[in-house]
Each structure stands twice: as structure tokens, then as C-alpha cells.
């Protein structure tokens, strides 16, 4: 049945990636546990998997950071199988001269959004908690990625929006610094604003629909943790909008707000409204998590967000995402992490790093587990 599709990463081959010079691994289609001391190269394996599904690392902002010191190129090659039996291979290579190249079944992929959309992955790493503690940008990134995984058009719209925003900021900055005359600046703004309004409205429209859809998955996963509380996510943007509004309404409200802000934008020399300033507000029983929640509540919220994303993508894409859990036993505490695995573990394929080989004890019965020891960039069956 289509609904039972499960995407599986069968194997990976990694060359010159962080401290892995040449690593080859055949995975279990259920739980994979990587164990080793600090700085041995466990997280690097998850990063390599992230290159296959997202074309980049969840930890490094530049491909140069993962390129092994002293090597001229790195390469990650993975074979995926979908439940209907068909296989897909992905190769990501990087070198100084050619930059990054991505191949899907040996064919060069021009738009990386194709990969992001095709191979759903959900990642929980120590850095994911920035969604809870960090800036609005950290929250936007979390949700933007989920929308992009769902809909590849979103990536293109997002990149176009950023280009238009940069142009607009250049003009506003030039007016504020008196590099161009006010009338000339206003003429230029008028040229860009129609597109700016269009793209802003497109992104806001998608985001508001995404959240209103996602919230149900989130609430039910949160309640699965047995907390007798009601958890909420609110999308916060500068215009009044609801999931019932059509695109035209969103666009016209945005236009009105932009007109209202024009003199202030000219004075400040920067774009003051748009989806690049949105945020997501997390609440428990009506109060804001960031201000009032305990560490434990924050952790449960974060796990619920991650699991909700997993089940949301699974249902919407009719394909089970793979799940990368980096150091979660230390980050979340063992009980919370095990509970999470008991919900997800028998549904999908999971990759976990830990410093302790026995961390899954008590769970072995229900799962197909493969354990690996990671030592100085080399991987051995445990
Ligand atoms: N570009 C690079 N080239 C070579 N080695 C690197 C590069 N970047 C990082 N390293 C090294 O590779 C290793 C990466 O370890 P990794 O982050 O995978 O650790 P880990 O096993 O997950 O440990 P921890 O439990 O501390 O998170 C570290 O020893 C690090 O110093």
C-alpha cells in the first residue's frame, strides 16, 4: 500500500569528509546506533547523511568546513530504496575548483531543491534547541526547511524574495545615505515594490497555511508525552492574517502595510516589513514557552516539534522520512529520548549517535538494531 512506503538509506560511502578518509557502511533499515568517544567522527556520519538529503550539513555553514584538512575534495555517495522497490543513488561532491555538485542517479542536479523535496529527513541535534532558545531566524529556518521539504516551489520563491529584498534594501540605504535623490529613490522603489508585495504575500500565505495544517500533528504528538497541558504554535507576522484569508486578501493587506511604513523605511534605510521579520511563538497553556517554561518543558516541546515534523512529512509526502538523532540521550535525557524512539523507531529508519553502547538497553526486542563503533574516523560493526 502506498501509505506504507518507507524510504531507507541502504548504504553510504564517504571520502575525505571531516576525519573520515574512506568510510563505507551498510545500514539497518530500522535503528542504527553509532557509538564512540568524543570527537571520533559519529556526528560526521550524520552530517554526511544530511548532505545526501539536504545537500548540506546541519552543523557547518560552509562546505569547506567538512572538507578533510589536507584533502582536495570530498564525496558522499548513498543508495536509497523506496518501499515500492525502486532505488535511487545520490552523490554529492565538492572541490575547490568546481564547487559542490549533486547527482541523482548519475544525473547532475541543477536545483538542489529537487533533492530536498525527494528525500525527506528530520534532524534533531544539540543545535536544534536554538529553535526554542534562539532568534526568530532560528525558528524561521526550522519551519522554512519543513515547507521546502514539502514543496520545492517554496525554495525558489524564497530565493527570489531574498533577491528582491536585497535590491530594496540597497535603494533604501542609498536614499538614507543621500547617495541618490529622494525622488529618484522613490521611483526605484516603485519599480521593485510590486514584486516585493507579491513574493512577501506568497511566502506569508504558504507559511500561514503550513502552520494551520501542522498544528494538529504537533498537538497530538505533544499530548502523546502524557503532559496534561495544551501546547500551541502561533505564526506571527506584521499584518493581520488568518488561514481563512485568500491570497488576494493577504496581498492587499501587505500592500497597505508597506505603504504605511514607507516614510519610516526611508528614514531608517532598511526594509521594515516582510516575512524576513516573522516569528513563531510557542505557548503552553497560553503562556510563552521562552519566558516561562522549565528546561524539561522546553525539551518536551522540542521533541514534540521534531516528531510532529516527522509524522507530518510522512503523511503529506506519503513517504517515511529518515530520522537523524545526534547525541539525544545526553541532550534530552535517556527516558525522553527512549520515549521518542518508541513512537518513531518502529515506523522509520533512525540514525543515532551516543557515547554509550548500552543506551538502547531494554528496547532491543522491538527493533532491528545495528550497532557501530566509531573510532578516529573509522567505523566497525559492534
Ligand atoms: N575538516 C576537517 N578535517 C579533518 N578533521 C576534522 C574536520 N572537521 C572536524 N574534524 C575532526 O573530526 C572529528 C569530528 O568528530 P565528530 O564531530 O563527528 O565527533 P563525535 O564523534 O560526534 O563526537 P562528540 O561526541 O564529541 O560530538 C573531530 O575529531 C574533529 O576534530
Per-residue pLDDT reduced to its tens digit, 193-250:
999 999 999 999 999 999 999 999 999 999 988 768 899 999 999 999 999 999 999 9
Q: What is the pLDDT of residue 1?
A: 40
Annotated binding site for ATP: 36-43
| Residue closest to 241 by CA, chosen among 275, 216, 288, 195 | 275
Domain boundaries, the chain: 1-120+319-382, 134-316
CA 208 to chain centre: 17
C-beta separation of 130 from 119 below 8 A: no
What would the mean pLDDT of 15-43 be, rounded to a whole number? 97
Q: What is the pLDDT of residue 4?
A: 55
Looking at the predicted structure, is the pLDDT value of residue 303 above 50? yes
> Would you say the CATH fold of 134-316 matches that of 1-120+319-382?
no
Q: Does domain 1-120+319-382 have CATH number 3.40.50.300?
A: yes
| Coil, strand or helix at 372 | strand
- With a 6 Å cutoff on the Cβ, whether 62 touches ligand 1 is no
- With a 6 Å cutoff on the Cβ, whether 19 touches ligand 1 is yes
Q: What is the pLDDT of residue 2?
A: 42
The backbone torsions φ and ψ at residue 362, rounded to the nearest 5 degrees and listed phi first, read 95, -10
What would the mean pLDDT of 29-39 be, rounded to a whole number? 96
C-beta separation of 7 from 80 below 8 A: yes
Per-residue pLDDT reduced to its tens digit, 316-348:
998 999 999 999 988 888 888 888 888 888 889
| Coil, strand or helix at 330 | helix
**Ligand 1: distance of its center to the CA of 99 in Å?**
22
What would the mean pLDDT of 269-283 be, rounded to a whole number? 97
Q: What is the mean pLDDT of the chain?
A: 94
- The residue ranges of DSSP E strands in the chain, in sequence order, are 8-17, 20-26, 31-35, 73-81, 87-95, 99-104, 107-108, 121-124, 231-236, 279-284, 287-288, 322-325, 349-354, 369-375, 378-381
What would the mean pLDDT of 34-52 be, rounded to a whole number? 98
**What is the value of ipTM here, to two decimals?**
0.97
Per-residue pLDDT reduced to its tens digit, 114-131:
999 999 999 999 999 999
* Ligand 1 atom closest to residue 374's alpha carbon, by position in its atom list: 21
Q: Give the span between the Cα atoms of 61 and 58, in whole angstroms.
A: 8
Cell 497530538: give the residue.
220
Residue 366 Cα distances to 99, 342, 361, 373, angstroms:
43, 9, 11, 22
| Residue closest to 218 by CA, chosen among 352, 119, 332, 315 | 315
Domain 134-316 sits in CATH at 1.20.1050.90
Q: What is the pLDDT of residue 362?
A: 80
What would the mean pLDDT of 67-72 be, rounded to a whole number? 96
The secondary element (H helix, E strand) that includes residue 204 is: helix 182-224
C-beta separation of 268 from 277 below 8 A: no
**Ligand 1: distance of its center to the CA of 370 in Å?**
22
* Ligand 1 atom closest to residue 71's alpha carbon, by position in its atom list: 3
What would the mean pLDDT of 240-262 be, rounded to a whole number? 96
**Ligand 1: distance of its center to the CA of 164 in Å?**
38
Looking at the predicted structure, is the pLDDT value of residue 267 above 80? yes
Amino acid at each position: 500500500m502506498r501509505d506504507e512506503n518507507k524510504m531507507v538509506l541502504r548504504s553510504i560511502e564517504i571520502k575525505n569528509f571531516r576525519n573520515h578518509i574512506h568510510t563505507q557502511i551498510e545500514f539497518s533499515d530500522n535503528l542504527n546506533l553509532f557509538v564512540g568517544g568524543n570527537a571520533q567522527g559519529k556526528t560526521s556520519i550524520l552530517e554526511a547523511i544530511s548532505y545526501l538529503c539536504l545537500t548540506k550539513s546541519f552543523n557547518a555553514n560552509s562546505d569547506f568546513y567538512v572538507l578533510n584538512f589536507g584533502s582536495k575534495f570530498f564525496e558522499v555517495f548513498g543508495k536509497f530504496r523506496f518501499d515500492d522497490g525502486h532505488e535511487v543513488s545520490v552523490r554529492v561532491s565538492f572541490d575547490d575548483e568546481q564547487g559542490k555538485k549533486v547527482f541523482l542517479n548519475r544525473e547532475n542536479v541543477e536545483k538542489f531543491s529537487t533533492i530536498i523535496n525527494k528525500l525527506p529527513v528530520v534532524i534533531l541535534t544539540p543545535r536544534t534547541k536554538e529553535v526554542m532558545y534562539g532568534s526568530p531566524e532560528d525558528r524561521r529556518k526550522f519551519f522554512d526547511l519543513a515547507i521546502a521539504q514539502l514543496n520545492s516551489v517554496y525554495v525558489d520563491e524564497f530565493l527570489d524574495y531574498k533577491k528582491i529584498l536585497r535590491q530594496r534594501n540597497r535603494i533604501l540605504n542609498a536614499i538614507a545615505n543621500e547617495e541618490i535623490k529622494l525622488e529618484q529613490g522613490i521611483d526605484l522603489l516603485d519599480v521593485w515594490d510590486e514584486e516585493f508585495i507579491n513574493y512577501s504575500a506568497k511566502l506569508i500565505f504558504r507559511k500561514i497555511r503550513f502552520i494551520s495544517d501542522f498544528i494538529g500533528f504537533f498537538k497530538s504528538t505533544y499530548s502523546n508525552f502524557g503532559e496534561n497541558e495544551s501546547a500551541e504554535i502561533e505564526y506571527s507576522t506584521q499584518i493581520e492574517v488568518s488561514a481563512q484569508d485568500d491570497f488576494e486578501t493577504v496581498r492587499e493587506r501587505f500592500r497597505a502595510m508597506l505603504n504605511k511604513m514607507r516614510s519610516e523605511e526611508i528614514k531608517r534605510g532598511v526594509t521594515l516589513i516582510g516575512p524576513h521579520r516573522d516569528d513563531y511563538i510557542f505557548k503552553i497553556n497560553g503562556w510563552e514557552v521562552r519566558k516561562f517554561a522549565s528546561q524539561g518543558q522546553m525539551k518536551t516541546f522540542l521533541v514534540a516539534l521534531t516528531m510532529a515534523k516527522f509524522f507530518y512529512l510522512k503523511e503529506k509526502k506519503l513517504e517515511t522520512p529518515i530520522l537523524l538523532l545526534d547525541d539525544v540521550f545526553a541532550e534530552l535525557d535517556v527516558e525522553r529520548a527512549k520515549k521518542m524512539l518508541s513512537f518513531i523507531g518502529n515506523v522509520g529508519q533512525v540514525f543515532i549517535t551516543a557515547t554509550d553502547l548500552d543506551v538502547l538497553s531494554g528496547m532491543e526486542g522491538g527493533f532491528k538494531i545495528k550497532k557501530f563503533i566509531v573510532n578516529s574516523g573509522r567505523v566497525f560493526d559492534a
